[in-house]
Amino acid sequence: MKQGKIMRALVLALAVSPAFAQTTTTAPPSGRLLASNCFQCHGTNGSGGLERLAGESVSEIYNELKEMQRKSPPKMMDMHARGYTDAQIRLIADYLSKQR
Amino acid sequence: MVKRRDFIKWAGASGIGFAAGAFDMLAMAEETSAAFVPVIPTNTGIKGNVVVIGGGMAGATAAKYLRYWGGTGVTVTLIERDATYASNIMSNLVLNGSRTMSSLQYGYGKLASSYGVKIVKGDVVAIDPVGRSVTLGSGTRYAYDRLVIAPGVDFDVLPGLETATAQAKVPHAWKAGPQTTTLRNMITAMPTNGSGVFVMTIPAKPYRCPPGPYERACVVADWLKRNRPGSKVIVLDANPEIIAEKHSFEEGFALHGIEYRPNTTVLSVDASTMTLDTNNGKVPGAVLNVIPPHRAGKVITANGLADADGKWTSVDVLSYEAKLAPGIHVIGDASATTQPKAGHIANQEAKVCADAILRMFSGRALDQAPVTNSACYSPITFETASWLTVTFAYDPVSKTMLPVPASAGEASARSKDNFEEMNKWFTALMGDTFA
């Protein structure tokens, strides 16, 4: 009953809430959200943790991830690397290489 | 040529003992995180006002990244009832005495000082989804453009566990805190002649941290074997089989002589005779560690935000916006998704949510291909661990996060190296969440 009441109220709210205006905001850098998967073990922005990644070259990060995808038997990071497509790895490498 | 990553691995494994190793790594990690000085951008042009309810792994991460990525134009208020967060991750190591509860406390000081998150201590008593505001027990009202709710889990009350007295005798210790210490004390109080039986129960999935209960059984059995030899550990699992890291835990259960009974559900608890009644008969124990079935934290269920089953909130996993409650995002354990309920993936769900909210504030399309990952290490003994990992990618057909099969796997064997890596992982994850 309570839920129904909230739902009805929300439908009403939807109808009256203003659309978000297009503003002159900075676009989020491509690769940032993908690369944030790295931050959990390598520190925010790749700043440290198990190993610092920020500022490594694109080719260093890209090649290392590609190598990990083939490594057998896989350790945890080798397994994790297998979760990304080639295009995603390029985006991640590009983003991390630009961090300081 | 020695690669840097390998060098660090060798250096970390160079014959240092467990205790020294753990302390060295903590010191190293603190230095690393101290070196990271975030700059909150002033020029993103993004403006908005977000209230976050709950300062656990999901809520703290969302608050941090809304400011770190969104900049000074985004106001973030984090409402949390406790002064510190007690980490569930690693709390099983309090049970064998290798960690203390005080070492698992995380404060909100860095979120405030480094990121400019407004920290408000309090309990939310009402949500107004139409007027877009939340009200605290104190009566103070906070308006929002977007609300993020991350309350974690609450527990069903099993028959026989209605009173505080019964709950104190039969703790779940599945929310790290005083019950964790209570359970530790019960384990150390088990008879030295080895006649004691430790019984723990696992609810049907989904519950918080799929490998966690099996890990706990291993850690406790390992401690008992060395300190109360002859004692027994019995695991009653409502699930038909071990649901995470099956290989590692089957080996662990064999190593420790743990008795595992699948398809066994607790019907009621008799705290006075210390006996469980199950669908497979009565089971007495010197220590009863009953983990009841879960549901989303009370702020979800009390405000009509749960699905028809009354347990969890269905969300759009491109933004974690509740399917039936526009403007309200639910992240972490409380949301119903195809992803596990656990701290590591909650941190990543929070980043997807923060990114989506910032895009909404600037009128941009949502990222249509988010990736999240679940990863964890599980101690099997006091000095060895296994691991588990899987990434999830958005599937536009089912509109769910699907596991990437090639990325799903567990450790081939428990090892001391894994245990050392676990400490580094934990320090880094908590740093990414709270610092």
Cβ of B122: how many Cβ atoms within 10 Å? 16
Per DSSP, helices labelled H in B257-342 are: 298-301
How many CA atoms within 13 Å lie on the side-chain side of B186? 24
Q: Which long-range contacts (CB under 8 A, 24 or more apart) does B130-134 make?
A: B130/A9, B130/A10, B130/A12, B130/A13, B132/A13, B132/B327, B134/B51, B134/B53, B134/B79
The values of phi and psi at residue B209, to 5°, are: 60, 80
Q: What is the largest CA-CA distance in chain A?
A: 58
Q: Is the pLDDT of residue B26 over 90?
A: no
How far off is chain B from A85, nearest CA to CA, in Å?
Answer: 10
Q: How far is CA B318 from the centre of its chain?
A: 21
Question: Residue A51 gets which letter from DSSP?
Answer: S
| CA gap B431, A43 in Å, rounded | 7
Q: How is chain A split into domains, by residue range?
A: 29-100
How far off is chain A from B316, nearest CA to CA, in Å?
Answer: 16
CB within 8 A of B375, min separation 6: which ones?
A40, A41, A76, A80, B344, B387, B388, B389, B390, B425
Is there a contact between B36 and A64 if contact means CB atoms under 8 Å apart?
no
A60 in reach of chain B (CB within 8 A):
no
Is there a contact between B407 and A51 if contact means CB atoms under 8 Å apart?
no
The values of phi and psi at residue B30, to 5°, are: -65, -40
CB B323 within 8 A of CB B286: no
Helix A86-97 with A32-42: angle, nearest 10 deg: 70
ipTM for the assembly: 0.90
| CA gap B107, B433 in Å, rounded | 11
What number does CATH give the domain A29-100? Answer: 1.10.760.10
Q: Is the pLDDT of residue B209 over 70?
A: yes
| CA gap B291, B297 in Å, rounded | 16
Tell me the pLDDT tens digit for each residue of B100-132.
Answer: 999 999 999 999 999 999 999 999 999 999 999
- Which tokens hold the place of B68? 């770190």
A14 in reach of chain B (CB within 8 A):
yes
Tell me the pLDDT tens digit for each residue of A27-85.
Answer: 999 999 999 999 999 999 999 999 999 999 999 999 999 999 999 999 999 999 999 99
B387 in reach of chain A (CB within 8 A):
yes
A72 in reach of chain B (CB within 8 A):
no
Q: Is the pLDDT of residue B42 over 60?
A: yes
Domains and CATH numbers, chain B: 38-154+295-366 (3.50.50.60), 157-292 (3.50.50.60)
Average pLDDT over residues B280-291: 98
Tell me the pLDDT tens digit for each residue of B401-425.
Answer: 999 999 999 999 999 999 999 999 9
Q: Is B282 helix (H, G, I), strand (E, B) or coil?
A: strand
Residue type, A58: V
The values of phi and psi at residue B20, to 5°, are: -60, -40
Is there a contact between A47 and B389 if contact means CB atoms under 8 Å apart?
no
Q: Is the pLDDT of residue B284 over 60?
A: yes
Q: What is the predicted pLDDT for the residue at A26?
A: 85
